[in-house]
Structure 1
Amino acid sequence: MISRFARLRRAAPILLSLFIAPSLAFAQDGTLQGRVINAASGAPLVGAEVRILGPEARVRTNAEGRYRFDRVSTGAYAVQASLTGYRAAQRAAVIPPGAVVELDLALQTAELRAPQVDVIGVAAEALERIPGSAAVVGQVELQQRIPLSGNEIFRTIPGLYVQEEEGVGMRANIGVRGLDPDRSRNVLVLEDGVPVSLNPYGEPEMYYTPPIDRMARIEVVKGSGSILFGPQTIGGVINYVTPAPPRTPTANVDVRGGTGGLLHLQAQHGGTWNNVGTHVGVLRKQAEDIRGLFFNITDVTGKAVLGLGERSEMGLKLSVYDEESNSTYVGLTEAMFEQNPHQHPSPADRLRVRRYAASATHELLLGANAVLRTTVYGNTISRNWMREDYNNNDSQRTEILLRGTTGNRNRSFDVAGVEPRLQLNHRFAGIRNELDAGFRLHAEWAEDAHINGSTPTSRTGVIRDYELRHGRAASGFLQNRFELGERFYLTPGVRVESFTFDRNILRQRVEGVPTDVDIRSSDRVTEVIPGLGMSWLAANNWTVFAGAHRGFAPPRIKDAFVVQPGTGGQAELVSLQLDAERSWNAELGTRATPVRGVQFEATGFVLDFSNQIIAPSLSAGAVAQAALANQGETRHTGIEGAVGVELGQLAGLPFGLLTELKYTHVRSIFSAERFMRDPAGDTIDVRGNRLPYAPENILVAGLALELPMGLRLRADGTYIGDQFADNFETVAPRPDGRVGLIPAHTVWNVAGTYRLPMWDLELFGTVKNLLGDTYIASRRPEGIMPGLPRTFTLGARVAL
């Protein structure tokens, strides 16, 4: 037997090498240091971020504009410096063994860009700075997918569910993590950082949806970072980002046509001349017959940027949107769906949406480490919907009988506000900090009329109901990102929202007769919304994040009051004391790029509502479910994740081959005792039941091929699990189509493009719903809404 001493003597050289090797390695490492300066003046730039690309090491410059990296492994690197208000600069550096390398970087003042509020941004490290789960869909992916509507893009983002309505995405119905998708009420939707819903506080409904065709990218934040925006902080934030003026004058034209008389015409022009940049886009979309639907959409958007000196810029934006269609609330009965799923049940209906919007953003650099952005915004929108009255023709409600009269739901909305935002890089107690702070003053108005017409196409007639609503809001927010070392970041924040709202009913039915009245009431909601986010750079290209925040959404103004008999026989508005929607939202996740060409992300989440409100609107299926108010305690738990593998990079192939897999599992249930009356008149405790329109499983698979010859092909499949249409988990379909299980379905889309560089020309084609499957997309507002049928498009895009 070998003695213990002999074994130790044999192991000694190995143990000694383990101690010596790291010392030798460190002795071989080098040091990289230098300055970051203003290219024009040579002045040092304080707080600039310097990164060694690859290892992803980063530091910030000190008061003298200097930086230093110790123990840099021997080799060649790309070093990048960036600072708000300047163009990033990059230089190569070679680190010999044991050497001290001096490398200075000079930054030039940034070219003109559109000053605006980004939810995430375009910097390489932008996602790392978000205290929670987030996603960005860039312009390259938007062009590859050639989407018919934004619905196709949002379906690819883990955690999001899109409920189809008319099939072409003119009205977005987006749910996040099991929240009701109806009119995207639980999601804050922005365009270039400005709210776009009808009335962001009192009626946050998406009857107008920004066309995806004119977007440069889409940003989505679902974690605690959403408290920087508001008022809704329950589901998260979606920001549509439009193109900035290009550096050099460019123009392009996009023409495409397709099934059902689909026609798409788009032209864009922009450029920068000295201190002025502009971008103008004109879009025309129309169709004659897509499942009986016709629509005509015209959208014009213009942006201008004015350079007001080295430290100041002004961005201006104007947009006009006009839409007319025969969109309808009426869905199919079960018998009609079986007979012909692509028929239009009420073809004489007409919806007209017209929107005018303007905004101005001033950006001022307050030294090297602070930026103040002030946005002034306003818009006016009218949403007039002429809908033919109807009845079900028999007691079984198997068919629809149009009555030859109309109910015109005419509404107009006005919004105005101002929002200054300060971003400040500073040091406190020796710790680097990034501060975001600001406030918003906001006002909104709504005019709501119901007009009964005497013919199937009457837009005028007897005013049955008429009311005015007004809201005033003030909010403030503060969020600070503490850099605790080089790899750990802690981001606490708080938002305060105060919303005062009035409702004034001027005409209503009294004993069935439309009568002039004057009924008024007011109320107020105030909320403190805290949040805390954490991110840890566990290794190069691997981030772990966690967060918790308060979810909040004020009640809709028209849901918050009810008319009741008052003193002296006079009717009065009485507050229902509807609580604001409140929840605690928490998540834990990670995103990583373990090797070049592979990306991975996964997040677990919980949304715990003390009170969830499902509004009693027609679009939410109120006819089928009766008026609902405080829905009570609900809980949403689940996981979401994605993996993307660029096989071309991974295997060193001469072409690009990308595979993607994205999955969401969420269980959304009534989490406490809750008694409701079902259609049969029985009182039932729905505790443990799944919430309506909350599929438990969504799976998205994609494959993209890009060949050097200029050919790109892409295929995407989306599986949506089954879902219920009411609170009682009713499986058997009701004859009128409004209640019953919505079966799971899968839809495949394909797209291809071929680029001819010599002519700056790109040819493309798509097939939506490749297999031509017929499926139920929704059972609301008032019956079955089938999904989009198989739809072909062909087109060309040319740069001029």
Structure 2
Amino acid sequence: MSFFSISQSIAQVTTQEIKGQVTDEHGITIAGATVQLSYHLQKTITDDKGLYAFHQVPPGSYIVKVIMQGFEVQEKAVNITTGKKAQISFIMNTSSNRLNEVVIKGYKAVKGMGYLNDVHDGVIYSGKKTEVILLDSLNANTAQNNPRQVLGRIPGANYSETEGSGFPSNGIGFRGLNPTQSVETNIRQNGYNVAADIFGYPETYYLPPLEAVERIEVTRGAASLQFGPQFGGVINYIIKKGSTDKALEINIQQTGGSFSLFNSFISAGGQVGKWNYYSFMQYKSILGWRPNSDVQQLSGFAGVNYQANAHLKFGLEYSILRNRIHMPGGFDDERFNLNSQASYRARNWLNSPWNILTGKIDYQFSPTAKLSVKSAYQFSSRNLVWKNEDGGPGTPDSISTVTLQPVNREVQREIFHANTTEARLTADYGNGEIKNTLAAGVRLFYGKMKREGGGLGTTGSDFDLTILDPHYGYNLDFTTTNIAPFVENIFHIGKRLSVTPGFRYEYLRSTVNGYIDNDITQTSHSSKDRSFALFGVGTQFITTSKTNIYANISQAYRPVTYDQLTPFGSATKIAPNLKDADGYNVDLGWRGSVKNYLNFDVSAFYLRYNNRIGVTEQFDGSGTPYLYRTNIANSIHKGVETYIEFNITKALFPGSTIGEFSFYNSFSFIDAKYVSGDFKGKSVEYAPQTINRFGATYTYKVFSTTFLISNTAKSYGDATNTVRSDDPALGLIPAYQVLDWSSSLRLGTYNFKFGINNLADARYFTVRTNEYPGPGIIPAIGRSFYVGFGAKF
């Protein structure tokens, strides 16, 4: 044998290679998919049989990534040793944004909303009602986190629009649940909790700037088995990642607008070897639509991920919020109708410094099994100095007849410390072509909160939390311990039908220590233990390759929260022995797409809510009214939700060169009524019967513009369905219509954004509150405009 032949034989033995095949969920081969070998910069394209191959691969650990338009990106780890040939094949899942056609020029011709795949980021979504919104596909006022323009596509989404009036973020609620501070909805960022305390104080004060968000994932009430409370499901904000093609990419966005709005956003990210990083900083300030409603806010984030080897990945993230909010106070009905842009308070302030530190570990046991662990530690607070209650919302701050100075303000402080650790294991198993999926995990939570209120503050008008008397009106320490294992499993029955049963076990221990001064000093030293099981089952039937029918029933609960146990005014009372709420959600729907021009989701829902806690108006022995918090009754929420998006140009004029025109309609009908107790037959608070939004978009090359009409029916501020009351926290919330216009222009790496919010200058409100930032009616913002400029380097 010649020397050449011997050398050739040795080369054949020692050459390393990676090869495989790419198919879809139904076993159909995918041609033209991009296959990338990470850390080695090799790329190839699958042939007409879906096959690919990398030859002469140096020994080492790699990530093989497959990218194909219309499908989710897939990654698998592989370790190559000398002389080894690896067979790595992929089954591609249809992408959650498959309805958004990506044009090479950089804009999306269809600005649609998709839904999550059956299994996504270690969570089972098969049979559940989900929505996914891609931020880059929208014309929207992201600088001010305008909820109508961003989350308005989600049917039935109702908002407490109070930005600049005391709440740092706009709250959201679904299906007639309370939208204030998103207390009925589990708010997450990158899969971990960001609310104050998911059990004791589930208000949301921190939200990431939408300029930094890649997508928003929404799961309705069936999320309770995987995530626990609340009845309203989960909203998960997914932060962008650093560019995988550059060591450094910088994005700058500057926005200005009405009422001295200034928003500055800058981000930096990239890939350096096995390290990927992304960070941003946002500064926002505005004088406000009303006097005494100025806001200053700083948000920041830093995240880094390290791919240690083919199996192990580490991540660390840190989020901050620093703000100072001037609260102009609330109105009674008469003064709102007289001048909704006025202010009767000049000395009320709030800030909510927020800190969230999160560690993440992902371990790929095999191509079919993965463990993910996230542990988030939150150390945050909420602080108020205000004088709102004396004399009602229409009365200016009172002046002392002795000192001739304003009376002392009240100081209120909350301090939160909480750790949430969630571990999730996902594994595919089965024989032959049909694979089943198991998702199991556990959540460990410990939170503590110090709540102090009624403190004697200064007589000044600036933001000053100084206490002149160390004895607060109430001083309470709360703790919550939670252990919750959970499991779900997708069982495939043939290629079209799947059934997903699930189970969650909750153990809760709550303690409270401290005192409340309310005419007499009441001390509290108590603890409460409870445990219960939640069950659910979902099913999904594939009707065509792009449509499916889904159904789900899942139990849910909501424990009594810390704020519900604390008086919100000197003339209020709380019922003894408040009970936790429980119930269940049911969904039945049909969703999907038709070719590249129609996207739809039509569904019906049924929500049972037992032991609902609310506020009613009562009268003492002398006939004086007061507010009373108690378990009001059981309620049933039922209705339909529809979403349709239709690209007229693609459907009727394919190949048109005059641009594209599309529209969407998001509609919900909600019948939310009490079915027991004194208020049987009454409408549930904050449950408008219809919410209808219609948006039309025209796109031509690098220019895109959207016009949005939002209509929300009337609702009520309390369970008695009071239309008019001397107490402005009670009464009708009238129906309203809001018009928004937004546009964008992209020129290479530069972009321009501009638009007008509330085009017709509608005067409306969405909130009646019995405490901050009121009490009373808190108006929504009138007409305003914005202009933005951005660049990417």
TM-score, length basis structure 2: 0.81
1:327–1:350 Cα contact (<8 Å) kept: yes
Q: Residues of 1 paired with 2:256 and 2:270: CA distance?
A: 28
1:104 counterpart = 2:51: yes
Q: Residues of 2 paired with 1:311 and 1:374: CA distance?
A: 14
Choose which of 447, 451, 464 in structure 1 pairs with 2:450.
447
2:755–2:785 Cα contact (<8 Å) kept: yes
How far is 1:103 from its partner?
4.5
2:356–2:377 Cα contact (<8 Å) kept: yes
1:714 equivalent in structure 2: 706
CA change 1:373–1:339 in 2 (3 A) is same
1:693 equivalent in structure 2: 686
Deviations 1:186-245 (A, max 9, x none): 111111111111111111112333333321111100142442112x04111110111112
2:444–2:484 Cα contact (<8 Å) kept: yes
Choose which of 105, 126, 134 in structure 2 pairs with 1:138.
134
CA change 1:337–1:511 in 2 (3 A) is closer
Partner amino acid, structure 1, of 2:468 = G
Choose which of 763, 766, 769 in structure 2 pairs with 1:777.
766
How far is 1:780 from its partner?
2.1
2:270 equivalent in structure 1: 271
Deviations 1:17-37 (A, max 9, x none): xxxxxxxxxxxxxxxxxxxxx
1:587 counterpart = 2:587: yes
Choose which of 481, 485, 494 in structure 1 pairs with 2:503.
494
The alignment partner of 1:739 has SS state of coil
1:742 counterpart = 2:733: yes
CA change 1:121–1:211 in 2 (3 A) is farther
2:78 equivalent in structure 1: none
Q: Residues of 1 paired with 2:785 and 2:408: CA distance?
A: 36
- Aligned counterparts, 1:426-575, within 5 A: 426-427=429-430, 432-450=435-453, 451-457=455-461, 459=465, 460-462=467-469, 463-505=472-514, 507-509=515-517, 511=519, 519-557=524-562, 559=564
Kindly tell me the number of residue pairs found equivalent between the two proteins: 687
The alignment partner of 2:287 has SS state of strand
CA change 1:428–1:578 in 2 (3 A) is farther
1:227–1:233 Cα contact (<8 Å) kept: no
The alignment partner of 2:137 has SS state of helix
Choose which of 705, 722, 726 in structure 1 pairs with 2:718.
726
1:659–1:703 Cα contact (<8 Å) kept: yes
CA change 1:718–1:607 in 2 (3 A) is same
Deviations 1:246-274 (A, max 9, x none): 11221111111111111000101110011
1:523–1:575 Cα contact (<8 Å) kept: no
1:764 equivalent in structure 2: 753
How far is 1:511 from its partner?
4.7
1:425 equivalent in structure 2: 428
2:26 equivalent in structure 1: 58
Q: Residues of 1 paired with 2:599 and 2:37: CA distance?
A: 28
CA change 1:197–1:431 in 2 (3 A) is same
Partner amino acid, structure 2, of 1:442 = F
The 10-residue stretch of structure 1 (319-328 or 268-277) with the greater mean CA deviation from structure 2: 319-328
How far is 1:89 from its partner?
8.2
1:560–1:577 Cα contact (<8 Å) kept: no
CA change 1:122–1:309 in 2 (3 A) is farther
The alignment partner of 2:760 has SS state of coil
TM-score, length basis structure 1: 0.80
RMSD of the TM alignment (CA)?
A: 3.2
Q: Residues of 2 paired with 1:126 and 1:665: CA distance?
A: 21
1:347 equivalent in structure 2: 346
Q: Residues of 2 paired with 1:594 and 1:749: CA distance?
A: 29
2:698 equivalent in structure 1: 705
Choose which of 188, 198, 201 in structure 2 pairs with 1:200.
198
Q: Residues of 1 paired with 2:163 and 2:152: CA distance?
A: 16
CA change 1:44–1:671 in 2 (3 A) is farther
How far is 1:283 from its partner?
0.3
1:19 equivalent in structure 2: none
2:174 equivalent in structure 1: 176
Deviations 1:736-793 (A, max 9, x none): 5333222111101111122222xx2212211100111112332224212111110111
How far is 1:147 from its partner?
5.7
Q: Residues of 1 paired with 2:133 and 2:681: CA distance?
A: 36
1:146–1:766 Cα contact (<8 Å) kept: no
How far is 1:385 from its partner?
0.7
1:638 counterpart = 2:642: no
Partner amino acid, structure 2, of 1:158 = P
Deviations 1:717-741 (A, max 9, x none): 110001112212222x335533322
Q: Which runs of 5+ in 1 are unaligned?
A: 1-39, 52-56, 60-67, 70-76, 94-101, 563-573, 618-622, 676-685
The alignment partner of 1:224 has SS state of helix
2:620 equivalent in structure 1: none
Deviations 1:619-641 (A, max 9, x none): xxxx9972322222110000001
Choose which of 757, 779, 797 in structure 1 pairs with 2:790.
797
1:570 equivalent in structure 2: none
1:354–1:382 Cα contact (<8 Å) kept: yes
1:502–1:557 Cα contact (<8 Å) kept: no
1:656 equivalent in structure 2: 660
1:390–1:402 Cα contact (<8 Å) kept: no
Q: Residues of 2 paired with 1:705 and 1:401: CA distance?
A: 50
Q: Residues of 2 paired with 1:549 and 1:317: CA distance?
A: 32
Q: Residues of 1 paired with 2:338 and 2:563: CA distance?
A: 39
CA change 1:387–1:489 in 2 (3 A) is same
The alignment partner of 1:291 has SS state of coil
- Aligned counterparts, 1:324-473, within 5 A: 324-327=324-327, 330-392=329-391, 399-402=395-398, 404-427=407-430, 432-450=435-453, 451-457=455-461, 459=465, 460-462=467-469, 463-473=472-482
- Aligned counterparts, 1:37-56, within 5 A: 42=17, 50-51=23-24
CA change 1:638–1:167 in 2 (3 A) is farther
Partner amino acid, structure 2, of 1:109 = I
1:349–1:385 Cα contact (<8 Å) kept: yes
Q: Residues of 2 paired with 1:469 and 1:778: CA distance?
A: 28
2:242–2:249 Cα contact (<8 Å) kept: no
Partner amino acid, structure 2, of 1:664 = S
1:225–1:533 Cα contact (<8 Å) kept: no
How far is 1:519 from its partner?
3.4
Q: Residues of 1 paired with 2:344 and 2:301: CA distance?
A: 34
Q: Residues of 1 paired with 2:626 and 2:707: CA distance?
A: 38
2:36–2:65 Cα contact (<8 Å) kept: no
Deviations 1:346-394 (A, max 9, x none): 121110110111101111110111111111210111100111244227x
Partner amino acid, structure 2, of 1:770 = L
The alignment partner of 1:359 has SS state of strand
The 10-residue stretch of structure 1 (293-302 or 172-181) with the greater mean CA deviation from structure 2: 172-181
- Aligned counterparts, 1:61-76, within 5 A: none
How far is 1:417 from its partner?
2.5
Q: Residues of 2 paired with 1:545 and 1:727: CA distance?
A: 33
How far is 1:558 from its partner?
5.4
The alignment partner of 1:310 has SS state of coil
Deviations 1:7-54 (A, max 9, x none): xxxxxxxxxxxxxxxxxxxxxxxxxxxxxxxxx965687xx9721xxx
The 10-residue stretch of structure 1 (148-157 or 693-702) with the greater mean CA deviation from structure 2: 148-157
1:683 equivalent in structure 2: none
Partner amino acid, structure 2, of 1:50 = T
The alignment partner of 1:58 has SS state of coil
Q: Residues of 2 paired with 1:624 and 1:246: CA distance?
A: 60
2:558–2:580 Cα contact (<8 Å) kept: yes
How far is 1:149 from its partner?
1.5
CA change 1:309–1:624 in 2 (3 A) is farther
Identity %: 20
Partner amino acid, structure 2, of 1:447 = K
How far is 1:648 from its partner?
2.7
Q: Residues of 2 paired with 1:259 and 1:418: CA distance?
A: 42
The alignment partner of 1:346 has SS state of coil
